[in-house]
A and B are shown apart, each in its own frame.
Chain A
Amino acid sequence: MSYKTLIGLEIHVELNTNTKIFCGCSTEFGKEPNTQVCPVCLGLPGSLPIINEKVIEYGIKAGLALNCKIANKVNMDRKNYFYQDLVKGFQTTQYYNPLCENGYLNIENEGSNKKIRIKRIHIEEDTGKSIYDKERNILLDYNRCGVPLIEIVTEPDINSSKELSIFLENLKQIIEYIEVSDCKMEEGSLRCDVNINIVDENNNIKTEIVELKNLNSFKNAIRAVEYEESRHIELLKYKKIGSKETRRWDESENKTLAMRSKEDALDYRYFPEPDIVNVLLNEDMISDIEKSLPELPHDKKIRFIDKYELSEYDVEILIADKKIANFFEETLNYTKEAKQVANWITGDMLRRLNDSKIKIDNIKFESKDLGELINYISNGDINNSTAKDIFRRMFEQGERPKVIIEDLGLKQINDDKELRLIVKEILSQNQDAVNEYKQGKDKVLGFLVGQIMKATKGKANPKKINNILLEMVSKA
């Protein structure tokens, strides 16, 4: 049997402009219901929309980052339907002439590259929110009305849940890099609908396309796709094709459930929005936006590997979040040890950030501090295990490494005379061990080093100690 999965996506991304798409109201999330509204976003009679040019700019940014062709003008259209959270009886969107078209995103899966085509990206307004209380009353919060969105539509080029997962991660990364959205799925600023069907290539039949909605996390999107794949294959086994419908993922049941059939699909009666004059886009404006785009993840990856001679694995961790990548490069203003910086960031720093659920924006120390800490290690002023303790204090208290070292007297003992005195002292206290060594038990050396470190609170330079110990133990 040879089955091929076809997946196309419709992704809604809430843009992080300060104000809404057609009025000056704030887009801030989580405010008291119905406090961020005005006649325009409430669709009061007589109010008119004024398009927010930032929204157009952000839409173009997304289009350019995803290799799209940008339209030469912005036309809005109306999508007419009735719903309690839709204030005007229509949603202002783009139907006939989307802002961006014909782009692509390359994904890498198990070493091979694949192009996922982007069909279109258009700008539109969000609707309000219906909340159901215990008595099944519908409470309406219109704060979200008019919050700007881009809708990204792909061609059905994704053929597995693995590819889906990689695509979504890459897309999210790009959107975050160009800073047009915070992509918080839990706050609804990234919503993904999946269209899926399966072709039975042997028997040349395919199932009807199913739309999956309400997927509130990437994990659920992937699980829903996997569930659907097996459901469709089951249908095909019996030469059935199922029905064209919308289904939702039920988290408690771990399966998809039918919501509505596509047969009774609405006629949205699209037509050009007469209240908004078309905005002409010229080449200069688009190329200015293009120049303002930051380095995108893929380019950054290649540059980091080349310039800093890091492993692909480390680089992927560093560039997963633009802010981490920036922190890495900032640190290199204070130290030359790129590999060390990468190790510290991908190791202790990310681990502590994750454990304490702190965002890098709120980290207590600066890149300069990490650079200094690494310099102390490479100059031999402190050893690695001391550095880890210092790092912990930097992370928890935000103290400067210099201050911590002075405060605790942690500076490494490098002075040969001093070290010899210490070694002599330890050897005289551990005569048994010295004897064992002389009888050929090399392992005893480890014990002796440990004793020395204990006595010096780990401050002795381990390299030097080794040499001095070897020299002195045989003479002792």
Chain B
Amino acid sequence: MDLTHLTIHDLIDLLRKKEINSQDIVKSYLKRISETESDLNSFISVFEDYAIKRAKQVDDTIIRMKTISDLAGIPCSIKDNIMVEGFKTTCASKMMKDFIAPYDATVSKKLKEDGAIIIGKNNMDEFAMGSSNETSYFNSTKNPVDKSRVPGGSSGGSAASVASRQVLFSIASSTGGSVRQPASYCGVVGLKPTYGLISRYGLVSFASSLDQIGIITKNVEDCAIVLNSVSGNDKFDSTSINREKENYREYLIDNIKGMKIGIPREYFGSEVDERIREKVLEEIMFLERLGANIDEISLPTTEYALSAYYIISLVEASSNLGRFDGIRYGYRSDNYSSIEDLIIKNRSEGFGEEVKKRILIGNYFLSSSNYEKYYEKACKIRTLLKNEYENIFRKYDVLITPTTINLPFKLGSKESNGEYGHILDKLTTPANLVGIPAMTIPCGKIDNLPIGMQIMSNRLNEKAIFKIAYAYEKNKVC
């Protein structure tokens, strides 16, 4: 039996029946990585010895405690902008190429406590800035579905490693679509939960008010299992939501009769590949056949979301990346004439083009003469957007849209650069701006390339998303 074809809940069942142990699981996944990694480049580092050692510990714990937690012995990977103590955290940047994390991110800590085995750190766009994984200092990751194409970004490595069965799940981050877009491109499930549901402590910030840690899995049930583990209030993150923990597995019920689905017109504009539009609408009809009510709706402010997103994300990024000056850690230049010169050289040589471009633009938006013109206006748009979405969720349980405007594009085609690159995130950024949960699930293929359907719901209503996604997955024969 090839264990890499199974899901988290399959493996936990086998563990509980004592048919396998976690060392068996880890070994088969490490083998899979060694067979595929040279082609894919989805990892920046793989912790072979550590993973084997941890698997032994988990097996010992199982024997001693006679209980098996929901993630015991499950191999996973973590995007390389999230701290795992004692291992490199590079953010796929020259600036951080030798940085060893001195502490655990809250998610890493929770996963370890639940027995998950962190097998490596995923490749990504540098500092999570990009939509194709091509801005990585460690070369691009390839899309496992078609290795001539990009896996999407910025969490390209995370999506590719799940899609190629190197791991069972990956923990990634989303600022404007960095979980959903690569998940969609690679044909897997990607969740960006409500802002504040998962602690950001230990995630290298790109844009604090938008950043959210997300989950990439093979299927909806695995996603709920992982969310159970990593969500919850954290006293180390002031923006973390303080509330009762939910059990998301309870929402995996194959019944969506009477659920109300809104289809926002603005997400089906001419910039979206016509074939994707048609396919997603087709799948929405399928949900109607399962008993959901469908309405076409309009969310007019959505048109301005992308501009607001760019202004806010770049403003926050320009400030968040200020700490990388090479004084205490990170890349340090050899020749310099003064402290000021040292900081300039460290940043000029340590950051890649995309990152520098965004820092520059962010500082431009933030300069005292532009503040009101750009940043304040963007914040106002964000407030309007929040109100608009809040209102719509009084009437609808979820909104369904395509996840991406296009199919995974060719490596090196530069589609993610320039004018076009900006609108790639058009359909995913609103959920980050508003702070609501959004999931992408695979909903078929065009020319053998996967496409994703995006399900959004109101703040803290992950329940509705899980219900719809689970019912769709259960009944659809893709």
Give A residues with C-beta under 8 Å from B: 39, 42-51, 78, 80, 82, 84, 87-90, 138, 140, 267, 269-271, 274-277
Is B339 a contact partner of A269 (Cβ separation < 8 A)?
no
Give the residues in chain A near B366, CB-CB below 8 Å: 80, 269, 271
Is A271 a contact partner of B315 (Cβ separation < 8 A)?
yes
Q: Which of B362-407 contact A (CB under 8 A)?
A: 363, 366-368, 371, 375
Nearest neighbor of A44 in chain B, beta-carbon distance: B102
Nearest neighbor of B371 in chain A, beta-carbon distance: A271
Is A275 a contact partner of B205 (Cβ separation < 8 A)?
yes
Is A275 a contact partner of B208 (Cβ separation < 8 A)?
yes
- Contact A138-B239, Cβ < 8 Å, known A39-B102, A46-B83, A274-B316: no
Give the residues in chain B near A274, CB-CB below 8 Å: 207-209, 239, 316
- Contact A45-B96, Cβ < 8 Å, known A39-B102, A80-B319, A138-B339: yes
- Contact A82-B204, Cβ < 8 Å, known A48-B237, A48-B238: no
Docked Cα-Cα span, A49 to B208, in Å, equals: 12
Is B323 a contact partner of A88 (Cβ separation < 8 A)?
yes
Q: Which 3 pairs show the lowest CB-CB distances between chains A and B?
A: A89-B322, A274-B208, A274-B209
Docked Cα-Cα span, A241 to B83, in Å, equals: 56
Which size class do B's interface residues fall under?
35 or more
Is B205 a contact partner of A50 (Cβ separation < 8 A)?
no
Is A269 a contact partner of B368 (Cβ separation < 8 A)?
yes
Nearest neighbor of A78 in chain B, beta-carbon distance: B319
- Contact A44-B329, Cβ < 8 Å, known A39-B103, A78-B319, A271-B375: yes
Which one of B62-70, B178-186, B195-203 is at the A interface? Answer: B195-203
Docked Cα-Cα span, A48 to B204, in Å, equals: 10
Chain A: minimal CB distance from B432 (Å): 13
Is A48 a contact partner of B327 (Cβ separation < 8 A)?
no
Give the residues in chain B near A51, CB-CB below 8 Å: 238
Is B323 a contact partner of A89 (Cβ separation < 8 A)?
yes
- Contact A45-B239, Cβ < 8 Å, known A78-B319, A269-B368: no
Docked Cα-Cα span, A248 to B392, in Å, equals: 60
A-B contact pairs, 13 of them (CB 8 A): A46-B82, A46-B103, A47-B103, A50-B238, A51-B238, A80-B318, A80-B322, A82-B343, A138-B339, A267-B368, A269-B319, A269-B371, A277-B239
| B416-432 to A contact mask, C-beta < 8 Å, 1/0 | 00000000000000000
Is B238 a contact partner of A46 (Cβ separation < 8 A)?
no
Chain A: minimal CB distance from B67 (Å): 31
Give the residues in chain A near B81, CB-CB below 8 Å: 46
Set A46, A84, A267: member contacting B203, Cβ < 8 A: A46
Set A43, A138, A275: member contacting B238, Cβ < 8 A: A275
Chain A: minimal CB distance from B290 (Å): 39
Give the residues in chain B near A140, CB-CB below 8 Å: 327-328
Nearest neighbor of B376 in chain A, beta-carbon distance: A271
Is B204 a contact partner of A90 (Cβ separation < 8 A)?
no
Give the residues in chain A near B237, CB-CB below 8 Å: 48, 50
CB of B460 within 8 A of chain A? no
Docked Cα-Cα span, A107 to B328, in Å, equals: 46
- Contact A45-B204, Cβ < 8 Å, known A267-B367, A271-B319: yes
CB of B236 within 8 A of chain A? yes
Give the residues in chain A near B471, CB-CB below 8 Å: none
Is B322 a contact partner of A49 (Cβ separation < 8 A)?
no
Give the residues in chain B near A44, CB-CB below 8 Å: 102-103, 329
Nearest neighbor of A39 in chain B, beta-carbon distance: B103
Is A46 a contact partner of B327 (Cβ separation < 8 A)?
no
Give the residues in chain B near A42, CB-CB below 8 Å: 328
Docked Cα-Cα span, A51 to B366, in Å, equals: 24
Give the residues in chain B near A275, CB-CB below 8 Å: 205, 208, 238-239
Docked Cα-Cα span, A140 to B325, in Å, equals: 14
Interface centre among A42, A45, A90 (most CB of B within 10 A): A45
Is A87 a contact partner of B368 (Cβ separation < 8 A)?
no
Chain B: minimal CB distance from A328 (Å): 45
Is A89 a contact partner of B321 (Cβ separation < 8 A)?
yes
- Contact A46-B319, Cβ < 8 Å, known A269-B363, A271-B371: no
Docked Cα-Cα span, A49 to B205, in Å, equals: 12
Nearest neighbor of A38 in chain B, beta-carbon distance: B103
Docked Cα-Cα span, A338 to B163, in Å, equals: 86
Docked Cα-Cα span, A87 to B329, in Å, equals: 11
Docked Cα-Cα span, A43 to B83, in Å, equals: 14
- Contact A84-B316, Cβ < 8 Å, known A46-B205, A48-B237, A271-B375: no
Give the residues in chain A near B324, CB-CB below 8 Å: 45, 89
CB of B135 within 8 A of chain A? no
Interface centre among A47, A88, A269, A276 (most CB of B within 10 A): A269
Give the residues in chain A near B227, CB-CB below 8 Å: none
CB of B89 within 8 A of chain A? yes
Interface centre among B325, B329, B339, B375 (most CB of A within 10 A): B325
Is B368 a contact partner of A49 (Cβ separation < 8 A)?
no
Give the residues in chain A near B208, CB-CB below 8 Å: 274-275
Docked Cα-Cα span, A42 to B202, in Å, equals: 13
Interface centre among B103, B238, B316, B324 (most CB of A within 10 A): B238
Give the residues in chain A near B310, CB-CB below 8 Å: none
Nearest neighbor of A277 in chain B, beta-carbon distance: B238
Set A46, A49, A90: member contacting B202, Cβ < 8 A: A46
Docked Cα-Cα span, A267 to B237, in Å, equals: 29
Give the residues in chain A near B207, CB-CB below 8 Å: 274
Give the residues in chain B near A78, CB-CB below 8 Å: 319
- Contact A48-B371, Cβ < 8 Å, known A89-B323, A90-B322, A277-B239: no
Interface centre among A48, A140, A275, A276 (most CB of B within 10 A): A48
Docked Cα-Cα span, A138 to B327, in Å, equals: 11
Is A47 a contact partner of B367 (Cβ separation < 8 A)?
no
Chain B: minimal CB distance from A276 (Å): 5
Chain B: minimal CB distance from A451 (Å): 79
Docked Cα-Cα span, A267 to B105, in Å, equals: 33
Give the residues in chain B near A84, CB-CB below 8 Å: 325, 327, 339, 343
| B21-33 to A contact mask, C-beta < 8 Å, 1/0 | 0000000000000
Give the residues in chain B near A46, CB-CB below 8 Å: 81-83, 89, 101, 103, 105, 201-205
Is B322 a contact partner of A88 (Cβ separation < 8 A)?
yes
> A48-B200, A50-B238 provided; 19 other pairs, C-beta below 8 A?
A39-B102, A42-B328, A44-B329, A46-B81, A46-B89, A46-B202, A47-B201, A47-B202, A48-B239, A78-B319, A82-B340, A84-B327, A84-B343, A138-B339, A270-B371, A271-B375, A274-B208, A274-B209, A275-B205
Is B325 a contact partner of A89 (Cβ separation < 8 A)?
yes
Give the residues in chain A near B340, CB-CB below 8 Å: 82
Docked Cα-Cα span, A209 to B344, in Å, equals: 32
Chain A: minimal CB distance from B374 (Å): 11
Give the residues in chain B near A43, CB-CB below 8 Å: 323
Nearest neighbor of B99 in chain A, beta-carbon distance: A45
Set A45, A80, A269: member contacting B89, Cβ < 8 A: A45
Is A87 a contact partner of B323 (Cβ separation < 8 A)?
yes
Chain A: minimal CB distance from B459 (Å): 15
Give the residues in chain A near B82, CB-CB below 8 Å: 46
Docked Cα-Cα span, A435 to B82, in Å, equals: 105
CB of B9 within 8 A of chain A? no
